[in-house]
Amino acid sequence: MTKTDPSLSAPDVVAAGEPAVADAPDLGSLAISVEEVMDALTNVIDPELGLDFVELGLIYGVEIDGAHVHVNYTLTTPGCPIGPAVAEQIEEFVGEVEGVDSVASELTFTPAWSPERMSEDARFALGF
């Protein structure tokens, strides 16, 4: 019997002359996609406008590094009263995506948000 480090994946634990573990998880299937993260971000709602941050064009970027997700976002104005709650909502909803271990969010005002960033549906709903 070969002793192995339990933190190693199946290919790492195969000793000479022993078969590979057939039930090892497919680590590729645990990959987090930008689409999954963006879908989770549709739950972050601007209560004054009644639309989500994705439709409003307030999500500037999503970076995924293994099980860590970084979301770069903005607000419609620097004095937006929901500002403090947005980071918490981003971390909550993205943290629920399967495979995500940690979430960081970063507020930026560069470039400044404008209505042109909104989806066509959001522009229509808000009369733009």
| pLDDT class of 17 with cuts at 50, 70, 90 | very low
pLDDT in tens, 27-66: 444 689 999 999 999 999 998 888 999 999 999 999 999 9
What residue segments make up the domains of the chain, in order of their start?
37-125
pLDDT in tens, 70-89: 999 999 888 888 888 999 99
* Cα–Cα distance for residue pair 124/128, rounded to 1 Å: 6
pLDDT at 128: 85
Residue 101 pLDDT greater than 70, yes or no: yes
Q: For domain 37-125, give its CATH number from 3.40.50.1100, 3.30.300.130, 4.10.490.10, 3.40.50.970.
A: 3.30.300.130
Detail the DSSP E strand segments found in 35-127: 45-46, 51-52, 59-65, 68-73, 102-107
pLDDT at 2: 31
